[in-house]
Amino acid sequence: MKIVINACFGGFSLSDAALDEYKGRKGITDEYFFEGDIPRDCPVFVAMIEEQGTAVNGHFADLKIVEIPDGVNWYIEEYDGLEHVAERHNTWR
């Protein structure tokens, strides 16, 4: 499974052109759709990163693809914009 993360301090963001292209590829017309609404494992989004590399990056972003095994219950953890993929574990109280 491929997941897009931000690999630097600063924060996840896309260029305006990349966000417009994503919306066009997905047929999204909602003016209130923002980059934070994009599922990080969306195949269309992953393909854009693979095809265009750093051209997709917004200000202070360095988007990259992380591959994890299929079936992992994952989430994105972040510190000052620097992200990594973590696996959810069960907890009980």
User: How far apart are the C-alpha atoms of 48 and 64, rounded to whole Å?
Assistant: 11
Assess whether pLDDT exceeds 90 at residue 90: no
Beta-strand ranges (E) seen in 1-93 are 2-6, 63-67, 74-79, 82-87
Bridge partners of residue 20, in order along the sequence? none
Confidence band, pLDDT 50/70/90 cuts, at residue 89 = confident
Mean pLDDT for 55-84 is 96
Confidence band, pLDDT 50/70/90 cuts, at residue 49 = very high
Widest CA span of the chain, in angstroms? 47
Mean pLDDT for 68-88 is 96
Q: 73: which 2 tokens? A: 């219950």
Q: Identify the CA nearest to 48 among candidates 11, 89, 9, 15.
A: 15
User: How far apart are the C-alpha atoms of 42 and 45, rounded to whole Å?
Assistant: 5
Mean pLDDT for 59-88 is 96
- The residue ranges of every structural domain in the chain are 2-87
